[in-house]
Amino acid sequence: MGQLLSFINGTDHAEQIFIDFENAQPSDDERELHKTVGEVLNRGPAIIEKLLAYAGCNEYIRRAITNPGPETEDAAWEAVLPSVDQLQEFYDFSLELETCFPKLLVALCKNDPKSSLSNQQALAKQLADIFDFVLRFDDAKMVNPAIQNDFSYYRRTLNRMKLSKKDANIKIRDELANRMSLFFAYPTPMMKVLSETTVKFLSQDTTVPRENVTTALATMANVCHDMVNKKKFTNEEINMFCLRAMVGSIILFDHIHPQGAFVKKSTIDMKGCIVTLKETNAASCPGLLNALRFTTIHLNDAETPGSLKQLLLLD
């Protein structure tokens, strides 16, 4: 199923490969890395579930602020501690992604990336899995202000609790709290981790050319777009998975390619990708369009064709 179908020639965004996201299984060569990455990714659904269920401590914090005193402030502190523990779990997971993502890039981009995506389909699926998780996480985080409210209150109260000697149950102290604060302050923290990790990896690993990584990302974006357009999958969840992988690939490509994803001669079929997102009647698509609008860095460049900018920015 992973046969090579055709190649991109210049800016011709032809279908290149079919990645069997439903049935891909690791070969012997892929198995060890697939297991390592899988041990991280297998916890992804539980992280998303906890994030979606995150209710926050707004009421406790409101009472402590409007009616300050030992009773309300202690109640808010006790309420916020387990919530902050959960936020640490999200942050720690981002560190695990930071560790495993470069390993996938090496496996898929060290040699010809088109052949690697075609011949290592289980690893290609895991690359798409990471994008799927990242887009889901960031979308849910962005619409939940309780996360930053809770952590801001925790940081403001931390020093007072240390001074009052009520710090026996404090696990997240200043240095870690600062790092977590920077993570959650960003609108799309998981994508920021991926982009910064990739930039750092490319600056340190001389065995993987930058153009191989951008080719892999462009290939993934075009293939995912093509598979949705040509209705390769009947399962709508798989189609949405493809669209998230497509958008994640575009965003990361835009962050690491010198000219970005939107230039006229882009190797990604940006017009086709945007049109497909707009024409797909699914609840997640507006969020994916917003991710392209606000998480990319080259959309407003002078080199971006006006027609493409208008297509993406207009509802």
Q: Tell me: the pLDDT tens digits for 134-177?
A: 999 999 999 999 999 999 999 988 877 766 655 556 788 889 99
d(CA 176, CA 306) in angstroms, rounded, equals 44
Q: How far is CA 112 from CA 4, 82, 85, 204, 217, in A?
A: 13, 47, 42, 20, 12
**pLDDT, tens digit, 9 for 90 and up, residues 279-308:** 988 888 999 999 999 999 999 999 999 999
Rounded Cα distance, 111 and 31, in Å: 18
What's phi and psi for 12, nearest 5 deg?
-80, 115
For residue range 231-277, list pLDDT tens digits in order.
889 889 999 999 999 999 999 999 999 999 999 999 999 999 999 99
- For position 15, what pLDDT does the model report? 47
pLDDT at 17: 84
Of 136, 142, 135, which Cα lies nearest the Cα of 250? Answer: 135
The answer, as to whether pTM is greater than 0.75, is yes
**Which of the two residues, 8 and 277, has the higher pLDDT score?**
277
Mean pLDDT of 21-46: 96
Residue 44 confidence class, pLDDT cut points 50, 70, 90: very high
**Averaged over 88-108, what is the pLDDT?**
97
- Percent of residues, the chain, with pLDDT higher than 70: 92
Number of neighbours of residue 202 by Cβ within 10 angstroms: 19
Query: Higher pLDDT residue, 4 or 14?
Result: 14
Per-residue pLDDT reduced to its tens digit, 164-210: 655 556 788 889 999 999 999 999 999 999 999 999 999 998 889 99
Kindly state the average pLDDT of the residues 217-237: 93
* Domain extents in the chain: 22-130+144-206, 209-314
What does the alpha-carbon distance between residue 217 and residue 305 come to, in Å, rounded to a whole number? 21
Contact 248, 131 (CB under 8 A): yes
Residue that is written with structure tokens 């707004």 in the block: 58
Quick one: how far is CA 132 from the chain centroid? Answer: 7
Q: Is a pLDDT exceeding 90 seen at residue 3?
A: no
> What mean pLDDT is reported for the chain?
91
Q: What is the pLDDT of residue 7?
A: 36
Residues contacting 105, CB < 8 A, separation 6+ = 198, 201, 208, 213, 216
pLDDT at 169: 65
19, 32, 306 from 184: Cα distances, Å: 33, 32, 33
- Alpha helices by DSSP H, listed for the chain, are 28-41, 44-52, 58-66, 70-109, 113-119, 121-142, 146-163, 174-185, 189-204, 210-229, 236-256, 270-279, 285-295, 306-313
